[in-house]
Amino acid sequence: MLDRLQAQAPDALLALIKMHAQDPREDKIDLGVGVYRTNEGATPVFRAIKKAEQKLVDEQDSKSYLGPEGDTGFVDALKPYVFGKDATMGGRIEGMQTPGGTGAVRLAVALAKAAGVTRVHMGTPSWPNHAQILADVGVEFVSFTHAKPDGSADLDAVLGAICGAGPTDAVLLHGCCHNPTGVDYTADQWAAIAEAFAETGVLPLLDVAYHGLGHGLEEDIAGVRQVLAKVPEALIAYSCDKNFGLYRDRVGAFYMLAKEPGQLPAITSNANALARANWSMPPDHGGAAVRYVLRDPSLTREWLEELDDMRARMRRVRARLAAADNEAPGLNLAALGEQNGLFATLPLDKNQIVKLREDHGIYMAGSGRINVAGLHAGNTDKFIAALADVTR
Ligand code: PMP
């Protein structure tokens, strides 16, 4: 039976990590894997999380099962950051903890399917796992263009998708810090998107995986809130794996916005049933640590400071790259200064990407995606010089 299985293509980024690890060059640069790195190239545990984890170890008196909804204290503590301090949305929101943002995206798609959605429209390029999840859950994927060659978001394409959507279609959007392009919708564009969702009644699936890594916690979620303020229903997938540095602890949340509060019990019972069939309940540790951070004002302050530092560092790298626009003509580095988050996609061809790796020890995804946080004061000049070399 099992010998019928065909080998799957290996994950391209994991192959890249291996190649980078085996490269003996001291000044090699890893722009592949999507984790935040400090100026020293490290991906440390947040100080606020370390302290929260210590408290958790000291105070936790049981590891008995929770339900499929996970740590509801975590889910509630996160709500004001997602929906705003006063935005109870009339009791129309319910949430649950999920294994990472990935689990939340999976639940969003599966719940949408259970409710009758057959097709999901999504801007491309996108995080590769989006398409894999859509295929695995069994809904059709329809692609529209996310970004224009000038490095801005393609509003006409997304409005075309929403306004052309059928009665069993949903539209999946990145909330902020788009992966892999870094190209986000502007406030005016979000207003038009919110209006289109409201007019058509198309279900929005909103994926927020890098909250706070663009311009700030409030700024980054403003577009999502514009949509939520206008639509009757929405599904929101949220990851704490980047903005709390919890990657391998798998911390996510899934929120459902219903037309009326009375509809939430039926909706959440379906989400719970799907969670049980998929993973039964989410891993506890990371979500509990986030709960400790968000319920303790001094830990919250420390977390916010750490997040501010991360964001400021990435904005400095972006500004440096943007200022080098003339040094590598044709790459539109200037646009990187306007874009957000961990990622940017450079219009490099395959040969240029191979040359960067072989001649300069610079490792990036085959799509031209770079992890901006892989750059720092000590290697950005080298990176720019290498770009100048391969685009000459
Ligand atoms: N959505 C997007 C757009 C992402 O880039 C990622 C992570 N790479 C996720 C969701 C899932 O994040 P997590 O690691 O929390 O599962």
Cis check: omega of the bond before 125, within 30 degrees of 0: yes
For residue 58, the CA-to-ligand 1 centroid distance in Å is 31
User: Is 207 noted as a catalytic residue in this protein?
Assistant: yes
pTM: 0.97
Question: Is the CB of 182 within 6 Å of ligand 1?
Answer: no
For residue 101, the CA-to-ligand 1 centroid distance in Å is 5
* Mean local confidence (pLDDT), 155-170: 97
User: Is 209 noted as a catalytic residue in this protein?
Assistant: yes
- CA separation (Å) from 234 to 111, 132, 192, 386? 11, 21, 17, 44
Query: Element (H or E) spanning 93, and its range?
Result: strand 93-99
Q: Of the listed 30, 71, 127, 328, which one is catalytic?
A: 127
Which CATH number does the domain 65-295 belong to among 3.40.640.10, 3.40.50.300, 2.30.42.10, 3.40.50.2300?
3.40.640.10
Do 10-44+300-388 and 65-295 agree at the fold level? no
Task: Using pLDDT thresholds of 50, 70 and 90, give the confidence band for residue 69.
Answer: very high
In the chain, pLDDT over 90 holds for what percent of residues?
Answer: 96
For residue 207, the CA-to-ligand 1 centroid distance in Å is 8
Task: Using pLDDT thresholds of 50, 70 and 90, give the confidence band for residue 10.
Answer: confident
User: Is 242 noted as a catalytic residue in this protein?
Assistant: yes
Would you state the structure tokens that stand for residue 223, as one six-digit string?
């577009």
Q: How many CA atoms lie within 13 A of 280 on its CB side?
A: 4
Closest by alpha carbon to 46, among 241, 195, 193, 196? Answer: 241
Question: Is the CB of 70 within 6 Å of ligand 1?
Answer: no
List the beta bridge partners of residue 252. Answer: 98, 239
Report the C-alpha gap between 365 and 191 in whole angstroms. Answer: 33
- For helices 72-83 and 217-230, the axis angle rounded to 10 degrees is 90
Write out pLDDT tens, residues 163-180. 999 999 999 999 999 999
Question: Is the CB of 126 within 6 Å of ligand 1?
Answer: no
Task: Using pLDDT thresholds of 50, 70 and 90, give the confidence band for residue 15.
Answer: confident
Would you state the structure tokens that stand for residue 88, as one six-digit string?
């109870």
Task: Using pLDDT thresholds of 50, 70 and 90, give the confidence band for residue 88.
Answer: confident
User: Is 127 noted as a catalytic residue in this protein?
Assistant: yes
Q: Of the listed 147, 165, 242, 324, which one is catalytic?
A: 242
**Coil, strand, or helix at residue 391?**
helix
Domain boundaries, the chain: 10-44+300-388, 65-295
Q: Is CATH 3.90.1150.10 the classification given to domain 10-44+300-388?
A: yes
Task: Using pLDDT thresholds of 50, 70 and 90, give the confidence band for residue 13.
Answer: confident
- CA separation (Å) from 389 to 211, 214, 324? 35, 30, 13
For residue 127, the CA-to-ligand 1 centroid distance in Å is 8
Q: Are 176 and 223 in contact (CB under 8 A)?
A: yes
List the beta bridge partners of residue 345. Answer: 369
Ligand 1 atom closest to residue 34's alpha carbon, by position in its atom list: 8
